[in-house]
Amino acid sequence: MEVNGLGNWNLRDYIETIKLSVRFTKTYYLSIFLAILGVFVITISLFLLIVFIGTIPISIVYGPFDEIFDAFDYIGVALSGANSVEAVGIVLFVGSALFAPFLIALGALFGIGQEIFESGSTTAEDALLWYRQKFTRLAAGGIVQFLYIIGPIGIEYILTVWYFGNQVVDSTSLMLLIIIAIVWFLISSGMLSMVFPLIVDGMSISASIKHSIRLTWNNLSAVFSIWITFSSLGLLILGPIIAQELADFPIIAEQWYDLYVLTSAVLIFLLLLPVYVLSTSRTYLIISDPNIKEAQEVHTKEVQ
């Protein structure tokens, strides 16, 4: 596939992408909701299976335990006794194993996003089909993305521990390190936001990583306008929760906190996520094939 730079991406393209994504989400929401439900049921089952398998070596080292989720306590014990390099290694290994199922689910949703914009229709079964057909590639792609994004942050942590030793990191340095980590997370996540659409299109993991970076670099305004929009919306929703955990005083009244957390999860997974997936799918299709806009206009008229 040849990379085509889209130098004429403008405010109209951005607004049209968001509008179409919202409209298609409303039109096919039942199929999208059932797809999310089905894929995430499988994902959670896979997550529990990974946790169960992971408890076997832990139980051999630390002895048997009564409940499967006690494994996380043992991981905490292992982290507390490890040096900085070992600790980061454990976090990256455990994190990639545990988050991979959720990233696979996200990749499957990109499959139905592409179906909607290319054919103007989709069903819940389409997501499960993508999940089954691309399982290995989506899993590998999810793990590689996780390591690519989180790895440098882990290296930053190791260097910080090495430089400061047993000294307490001053607030200015700590804030600078946090800002660097956040900027890297946003930039690297944006540069890799086309990986799943490319995997859905049939590319290998290595090719999709390279192609996503090149495609994004040639279309920075198109890709990052969508990525920053939904990242900001997600941060806006989660902001009170983050502030609550960091502040010394309650931001949200205690009796409303659990309800807010639940509401935030529902908004992100059942509303923001589908619109983001469709917006990213449309952006990918446009920057890889600008002529796709004509076909999408036909689909849009059909669902109005």
Ranked by mean pLDDT, which of 52-61, 67-76, 177-186 comes out on top?
177-186
* Closest listed residue to residue 152, CA positions, set 198, 191, 192, 183: 183
Q: Over 50: is that where the pLDDT of 108 sits?
A: yes
Q: Which residues contact 194 (CB under 8 A, 6 or more apart)?
A: 208, 211, 212, 215, 216, 223, 280, 284
Contact between 37 and 266 (Cβ < 8 Å): no
DSSP 120: S
In the chain, where the domains are located? 11-303
Amino acid letter, residue 41:
V
CA distance 185 to 70: 30
pLDDT at residue 84 in the model = 55
> Each residue of 72-92: pLDDT tens digit?
666 666 656 655 555 665 666
Q: Is 221 helix (H, G, I), strand (E, B) or coil?
A: helix
Higher pLDDT, 96 or 218: 218
Amino acid letter, residue 112:
I
pLDDT at residue 276 in the model = 93
Ranked by mean pLDDT, which of 87-96, 178-187, 219-228 comes out on top?
219-228
pLDDT at residue 116 in the model = 75
Contact between 202 and 219 (Cβ < 8 Å): no
Q: Is 295 helix (H, G, I), strand (E, B) or coil?
A: helix
**Average per-residue pLDDT for the chain:** 76
Percent of the chain at pLDDT > 90 equals: 16
pLDDT at residue 288 in the model = 81
169 φ, ψ to 5°? -70, 125
